[in-house]
Structure 1
C-alpha cells in the first residue's frame, strides 16, 4: 500500500491526532504538506498516488459539475454544512474515485478478454 493511502486511513480513524479535528480543509492542507515532505525527501510517489494527485481534482470537478481553480476541499465544502461533513464526504468520494479505477481496469480487461476470444479470419474461413 502507498504511504498516501496508509496515512489517509490513519487520519480517517483518528483525525484529531493528525489534524486537530475532522476537517476537510485541514485534511487538504495536511496532504499538501505531506506531498511536499515526500518530494523533499526524494520519495517517489506510486502510480496510485500520482493518479490521486493528478486526477482527483478534475474528477471532483466533473462529479459536482463545476469548473474552478478552487481546491477539491473547497468544492466539497460548497456542498456540505460544516467541516466534519466535508471530511466524511471526502472519504466517500475517495472510495468512489478508487472504485472507478477498478471499474475502468475491469472494463478494459473485459474488452481485452472478449477481443482475445474472438475468432480470427483464418478460424472463420477454416470452419
Structure 2
C-alpha cells in the first residue's frame, strides 16, 4: 500500500490527471481526502518523516515565526497566490523535508513523583482526553522521548506508555530548553533522563512512528 510520499511522487509528473488542475489547493484537498479515508477505515500507514510535521517544516523553511495557517497557505502566500507555482514550490520544499532525520533522543523516565505532580493541582496544564467530553486529563506516560531533528529544525516530545505512543506535540520546540520546560510544567522540576545511543536513534524513532 502506498504511503503519502509514494502517492505524491506519482502525482508529481502529471498533477492535472489526479487533481484536475495544477493547483496547491487542489493537492491539499486531495491529501485531506486521502487522510480521511485511511483514518475512517482505521488503517495505519506511517511514513518517515511523519507528514504531520510538514506544516512546521514549511513555517521553518520560510521563516514564519508563528503560524497556524497550514502548509498550503504558507506556500501559497510565499508564491503571491499563484496556485501552479505554489504546487511546484511544494514539491521543492517536500524534497528537503523528506531528508529530515532524528539525530538525538533523550528518554525522560516518568517517576512516581512526576506522576503525582501531573495529577495534582500543582500541574496547571491538562491535556484533554480525545475520547472524553470532560476535562479529564490524558493518562500519564511511562516515559517521554525528546527528539532532536537534523537541519536545526528543532525538537518534539513523544509520550509513550509501554510501546504505544499516547500523545505527541504537534508543534516543534526551537530549543531543547523549551522542550524540557514543557515537560517540567507537566511533571515537575526533577526529571530522570537517559540519552539514547547514537546507533539506536533512527531505529527507535521509526518504532515510535509505527506505534503512533
TM-score category, normalised to shorter length: 0.7 to 0.9
* RCO higher in structure (CA 8 A, sep ≥6): 1
Rounded to whole Å, the distance in 2 between the matches of 1:5 and 1:36 is 16
Q: Does 1:80 align with 2:83?
A: no
Per-residue deviation, residues 54-73 of structure 1 (Å, max 9, x unmatched) = x1111111121212221101
Q: Does 1:112 align with 2:111?
A: no
Per-residue deviation, residues 48-101 of structure 1 (Å, max 9, x unmatched) = 26x112x11111111212122211011001111411110010000000001122
Per-residue deviation, residues 20-51 of structure 1 (Å, max 9, x unmatched) = 111111111110110000111221021426x1
**Which 4+ residue blocks in structure 1 deviate beyond 4 angstroms?**
102-105
Q: Does 1:25 align with 2:5?
A: no
The SS at the match of 2:48 is helix
Query: Could you tell me the TM-score, scaled by structure 1's length?
Result: 0.73
Rounded to whole Å, the distance in 2 between the matches of 1:3 and 1:47 is 6
Rounded to whole Å, the distance in 2 between the matches of 1:43 and 1:16 is 27
Instruction: Name 1:65's counterpart in structure 2.
Output: 63
Instruction: Name 1:90's counterpart in structure 2.
Output: 90
More helix by share: 1
Rounded to whole Å, the distance in 2 between the matches of 1:40 and 1:90 is 26
Bigger Cα Rg = 1
Shift of 1:12: 0.5
8 Å Cα contact 2:3-2:47 kept in structure 1: no
In the superposition, relative to structure 1, how do residues 20 and 102 fare at CA in structure 2: closer, same or farther (>3 Å)?
A: farther
8 Å Cα contact 1:2-1:46 kept in structure 2: no
Rounded to whole Å, the distance in 1 between the matches of 2:102 and 2:22 is 28
Structure 1 alignment gaps of length 5 or more: 106-110, 114-127
Instruction: Name 1:10's counterpart in structure 2.
Output: 10
